[in-house]
Structure 1
Amino acid sequence: MADLSALKVGLEGTASALVTEERLATNVGSGNVPVFASPMLLALMEAAAVNCLEGHLPEDYQSLGVQLNVAHTAPTPIGFTVTAKATLKAIEGRKLTFDVVANDGAEQIGSGVHTRIVVDTPRFMARLAAKSLPRP
């Protein structure tokens, strides 16, 4: 097991994105209204969690998102900047749980819980490569 002692409950990370044409629901297949797309919100929340862990994981380890339970509660038009914040709320072995929240400068637009698992990168990549081999 990796030494995860550098991880502490309460660590925070953020990520921001300008709402552009490419990030609208109408362009990512998640709806017919030109607003910030839910898949983009989820990606931003995951990025905030990844940023939270930056510099706190051992060498050759990284985290992988395994669960998101998020409510997207308000629309955001093009031109706004959305900022997501992730706060590490629980550490259970390799399982990390984050509270995530996002706002667009005018109001909170989403919140929820995100879970990530810490993995040994070389081992994970070997498993992935084995899965990619042709099957008989």
Structure 2
Amino acid sequence: MSCIVEQSRGMKQIVVTQYYTASAWGSGLMDILATPAMIALAESTCMESVQGDLEKGMTTVGTKVDIEHLSPTPLGMTVTCKSKLIEIDRRRLVFQVELFDDKGLIGKGRHERFIVDADAFQHKANAKSES
């Protein structure tokens, strides 16, 4: 199914612009990094860290998030997410994630993804609107 190995690592960065703020995402009124934006960064970091190791036509989908948002990050700061694959159970992948801004740790936790056939999964989702 894949060549994924435990301890696979990923890293991704964003600069906090208005797009990533709580006021823009509707999760708050402040111009600071939104928790949903931080979680989206964590998910994409994990996904990208293993996507290249999957067979053609396969992808991963997020199924569980347990991430603490520990500190606010203002506009203009860089946020770095680091992920490490810590468990593989058949198609289930569990990642440890840590997120940092220019001043230190801002988030940490775990994220779970499942390996799926992309076309079959999309077809299953589309079928919901056809019934």
TM range, smaller chain: over 0.9
- Please give the per-residue CA displacement for 1:97-131, whole angstroms capped at 9, x wherever unaligned: 00011001211100000000000112112212222
* Deviation (angstroms), 1:16: 1.1
Match of 2:7 in 1: 10
Give the partner amino acid of 2:68: A
Match of 1:25 in 2: 22
Map 1:53-132 onto structure 2 (within 5 A).
53-132=50-129
SS of aligned partner of 2:102: coil
SS of aligned partner of 1:7: coil
Sequence identity percentage: 32
Match of 2:33 in 1: 36
* Deviation (angstroms), 1:41: 0.2
SS of aligned partner of 1:114: strand
Structure 2: how far apart are the matches of 1:10 and 1:79? 31
| Structure exhibiting the larger radius of gyration computed from Cα positions | 1
* Deviation (angstroms), 1:8: 0.7
Structure 2: how far apart are the matches of 1:127 and 1:54? 21
Greater mean alpha carbon deviation, residues 117-126 or residues 76-85: 117-126
Q: Tell me which stretches of 4 or more aligned residues in structure 1 moved more than 2 Å.
A: none
The total of aligned residue pairs comes to 131
Greater mean alpha carbon deviation, residues 28-37 or residues 75-84: 28-37
SS of aligned partner of 1:39: helix
For normalisation by structure 2, the TM-score amounts to 0.95
SS of aligned partner of 2:123: helix
Greater mean alpha carbon deviation, residues 98-107 or residues 25-34: 25-34
Give the partner amino acid of 1:33: M
- Please give the per-residue CA displacement for 1:28-55, whole angstroms capped at 9, x wherever unaligned: 1111222111010000000110111131
Structure 2: how far apart are the matches of 1:69 and 1:106? 23
